[in-house]
């Protein structure tokens, strides 16, 4: 079984979100440009967004409408509205989550995630610290990267003509 299939299986079973622990500041700094108390984050975000962005949860595969989004535009952080990806960076990875082969410059910090019996690189919004997903080395050219993003952590902004 491949790592991709294993992750999809854990997500489908709902196991990944129950294995996650709270991570109030994944980047290891004392503050972010956008910072709120835990109570304020709970007010600002939906329960699903809070679970992913603030508690490093994972939404179930194939549940996000953004996975099939085909319009031209920009994907923003649902926590702070920072632009993260353009539609030109998106590709269909077949994993059930919106996937991108690169990001806009400087928008993410990374940490090492040793949960689920493997080492992965987790990425977080540089502006609010929100968890977005994991980056893998099985993406398409030119980068070979796959930024596997939780759709609930994103907001799509359609390009204007």
Residue 107 and residue 3: Cα distance in Å, rounded?
A: 26
What value does the mean pLDDT take over residues 66-95?
97
**H or E stretch at 86:** strand 83-86
Annotated catalytic residue within 77, 80, 128, 148: 148
What strands, in cross-sheet order, belong to the sheet with 154-158?
A: 83-86, 73-77, 154-158
Tell me the per-residue pLDDT of 14-29, one tens digit each, with 9 for 90 and over: 333 322 333 444 444 4
Tokens (6 digits) for 150: 């939780």
Tokens (6 digits) for 74: 């920009």
- 148 catalytic? Reply is yes
Contacts with 23 (C-beta within 8 Å, 6 or more apart), sequence order: 54, 55, 56, 131
CA proximity to 54, closest of 73, 77, 75, 71: 77
Residue 82 and residue 40: Cα distance in Å, rounded?
A: 18
What value does the mean pLDDT take over residues 92-96?
95
Given this model, what pLDDT does residue 9 score? 38
pLDDT at 46 over 80: yes
User: For residue 83, with 0-12 CB atoms within 10 Å meaning exposed, 13-18 middle and 19 or more buried, which class applies?
Assistant: middle
Tell me the per-residue pLDDT of 121-140, one tens digit each, with 9 for 90 and over: 999 999 999 999 999 999 99
Q: How many CB atoms lie within 10 A of CB 96?
A: 20
């Amino acid at each position: 079984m491949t790592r991709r299939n294993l992750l999809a299986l854990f997500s489908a079973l709902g196991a990944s979100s129950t294995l996650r622990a709270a991570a109030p500041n994944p980047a290891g700094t004392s503050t972010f440009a956008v910072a709120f108390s835990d109570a304020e984050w709970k007010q600002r975000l939906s329960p699903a967004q809070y679970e992913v962005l603030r508690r490093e949860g994972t939404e179930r595969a194939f549940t996000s409408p953004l996975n099939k989004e085909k319009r031209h535009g920009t994907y923003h952080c649902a926590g702070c509205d920072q632009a993260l990806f353009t539609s030109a960076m998106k590709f269909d990875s077949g994993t059930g989550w919106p996937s991108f082969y690169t990001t806009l410059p400087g928008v993410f910090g990374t940490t090492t995630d040793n949960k689920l019996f493997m080492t992965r690189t987790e990425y977080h919004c540089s502006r609010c610290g929100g968890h977005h997903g994991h980056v893998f080395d099985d993406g398409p050219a030119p980068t070979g990267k796959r930024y596997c993003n939780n759709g609930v952590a994103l907001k799509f902004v359609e390009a204007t003509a």
